[in-house]
Amino acid sequence: MNKNNFSKLYINALNIYSDGGVRQLNDLLEAFDSKINVKVVANTDVKITTKIPSNVKIACVKSTIFSRFLLELWLFIKVSSRDQLLCFGNFPPVLKNKGKVYVFLQNRYLIDRCEINSKNFRFKVFLQRIFFKICASNDYFYIVQSPTMRELLNKKIPKLKRSGVFPFTNLKTKNINVNKNKSLNAIGKIKTYKFIYVASGEEHKNHKALIKAWALLAEEGIFPMLYLTVNKSKYPRLHSMIVENIKINNLRIINYGTISHKLILAMYKRVDALIYPSLFESFGLPLVESRFFNLPIIASELDYVRDFICPKETFDPRSPNSIANSVKRFMKLKQEDNAIYTPKQFVKNFFYD
């Protein structure tokens, strides 16, 4: 259904309490024009400080368990198949309605571990995570504000395939980047860099994160060469994953399987860097060998790496995005800031053309 065919937009903002959330709600409400009728339910503690267009109607109610239940029931009855619902306070609807549902996820602790000493708060977060997971549905579209949040969401609840990164703010500045996903190849011809990862296929060797990083690079139009040494017969699942990603993302990856040590040493002379995303090692022989060949090393920012070498670049081995960024730094590619949008761009992108 085309966005212009929708009748009304309902916004559930009852969970908004924090200063940042209130500011974003004010910015959002100011951005709507007369193309769509908007009905908002907010907490009585929230102060609407901006000028609201006449097509935006706001109802403020006290946030209690009973009022939340009544709101869920009201939305279930009122939201039709021609309407849209924006859950602006992290949680999906409890009662699944007929409309197109967007969930604006802002609180990281719902999908990530948090080191908090308060037992009461930890218990509260525990219940909220369960609630979020139960109510989550792949029929909804999840809006987050950073690539890290999207990565965490996909990792925590893999079934949620429909999500997008769309941060917005009302900051008035000429320096805000509003261009979507510019290819870094646009800066000119890029040398074909060659990387090697000498490692077997055990889980702690962390090949999956490395392959995901290569896929992220491919999304930006960056295709460095990567040589691997994963034995197909010993690690069939990992081998299949590598082959599938090569095919889907057109990755420049060659898996040689088990090769002789003599050939490995010869490869060190033909590549630009050793990349080493292993999560832990007792020694890390390829790191030491690369050092003797004066081969630049891009590796995990972990103690075992720095026991013997000083890497050229480091990364968080659990983050494909961090690995990809370290590769771009090594390739001396200009890295652009992720886009930050205005509230009007946010509204236009999701709720009407």
Contact residues for 202 (Cβ-Cβ < 8 A; gap 6+): none
Alpha-carbon distance of 181 to 219, in angstroms, equals 9
**How would DSSP label each residue in 87-134?**
ETTSPPPSS--SSEEEEE---GGGTS------HHHHHHHHHHHHHHHH
Residue pLDDT, tens place only, 148-167: 788 888 888 888 878 888 88
pLDDT at residue 284 in the model: 85
Cβ atoms of 28 and 346 closer than 8 Å: yes
- The proportion of the chain whose per-residue pLDDT surpasses 70, expressed as a percent, equals 89
Q: Hey, do 3-175+340-351 and 184-330 end up sharing a CATH topology, with the first three levels equal? A: yes
CATH homologous superfamily, domain 3-175+340-351: Glycogen Phosphorylase B; (3.40.50.2000)
- The proportion of the chain whose per-residue pLDDT surpasses 90, expressed as a percent, equals 41
- Most confident range (mean pLDDT) of 24-28, 142-146, 191-195, 251-255 is 251-255
Residue pLDDT, tens place only, 29-68: 888 877 788 999 988 888 887 788 888 999 988 888 898 8
CATH code for the structural domain at 184-330: 3.40.50.2000
Contact residues for 99 (Cβ-Cβ < 8 A; gap 6+): 10, 79, 80, 81, 82, 83, 84, 85
**Does the structure show a pLDDT above 70 at 182?**
no
Instruction: Delimit the domains of the chain by residue range.
Output: 3-175+340-351, 184-330
